[in-house]
Amino acid sequence: MKNTILYNYNLNDISITIVKNNALVKDKEEMYLFQKVEDAKEVEKQYNLTKNNKDYFTFVINKEKSIFTKYKDAYYVLLQIKEHNKFEEKLLNPPKVQTDEIRKSWIDLWMEKGDFIEYQMMHISGKYKSIDESVDYYIGLLEVAIAYLKYNIKKQDNVNYLVHKRINKKDFFNPLNVTIDVKERDIAGYLKYLFLNDQYKEDDIKKFLRSLNLDKESRIRLLARMLYPSHYFDLYDKVVSGEEDEEIIKKVVIRTTEYENYLKIIFDSLNQKKDLPYIHFL
């Protein structure tokens, strides 16, 4: 990998640290990430979305005048890492994006996810005890999220923002983490990030949510996004693909009651006007 990087880029004396299929690259005082590409068309879109945004890691063009470099049987991009403290500022103020792309609705995406998992479970039932014992609950939570979002389906915000697949401070400014969606996606992702990393306090969450001053439609979208158990499904996918051991599922499952209490804090904070549909299990 080191020889591939040296050959393709204008770097002279580098050290690399392998992290799974990727590499952290140091050249003098600069840090880079040599990251594997899963979907070239998506990465091209992410490049165009972020190339003029100075906050995001910069794509380094190789000697072939391309963002893509082949290594073994896969393609990679080299990203120049930028360090700054703009995480929460940018989280709450995502830039609007002008695009002709038709964004698929959360309801359609979530229904597809649920159908796929139910089909998959027909073939892997009995293989992963932790999944067998928990997946029905999270499929049920997915269904509650869909039902809740339907209260808002005719008032869906069609304004597109540059947001993120998942919220993580380390990868927030990685362009391979960006997508186009509504701004509530990032807010919900941030709230889940705080929960999963045990970085939340009830008073701080209430203060944060009050500061957002969201309208009713935005609050419904945010709650639906919180109900949708992406944090469980992310781990489910990693277990089934063989990337992680099934024990990792327990990290979410043992906190089920805590997460329901967390949802209640968020619901109560967003429902100060008593104008939101009730969530029956909270």
Residue of 181, 182, 184 whose CA lies nearest to 212: 184
**Bridge partner residues of 79 (DSSP):** 33, 59
pLDDT at 4: 94
pLDDT at 153: 65
pLDDT at 85: 79
pLDDT tens readout for residues 172-228: 999 999 999 999 999 999 999 999 999 999 999 999 999 999 999 999 999 999 999
- Three-state SS at 63: coil
- Asked whether 223 and 282 are in contact (CB, 8 A), the reply is no
Q: How far apart are CA 223 and CA 205, in angstroms?
A: 14
Question: Other C-beta atoms within 10 Å of 149: how many?
Answer: 21
Q: Which residues of the chain have pLDDT under 50?
A: none
Task: Name the packing angle between helices 256-270 and 202-212 (round to 10°).
Answer: 40
Residue of 280, 269, 178, 177 whose CA lies nearest to 227: 280
In order of start, what are the domains of the chain with their CATH numbers? 2-83 (3.30.200.20), 89-270 (3.90.1200)
Residue of 107, 109, 255 whose CA lies nearest to 194: 255
| Paired tokens of 171 | 């990868």
pLDDT at 155: 59
Residue partners of 131: CB distance under 8 A and separation at least 6: 121, 124, 236, 239, 240, 246, 249
- Apex 99 CA angle, 97 and 103, nearest 5: 95
**Bridge partner residues of 34 (DSSP):** 23, 78
Q: Please provide residue 74's backbone torsions phi and psi, each rounded to the nearest 5 degrees.
A: -135, 170
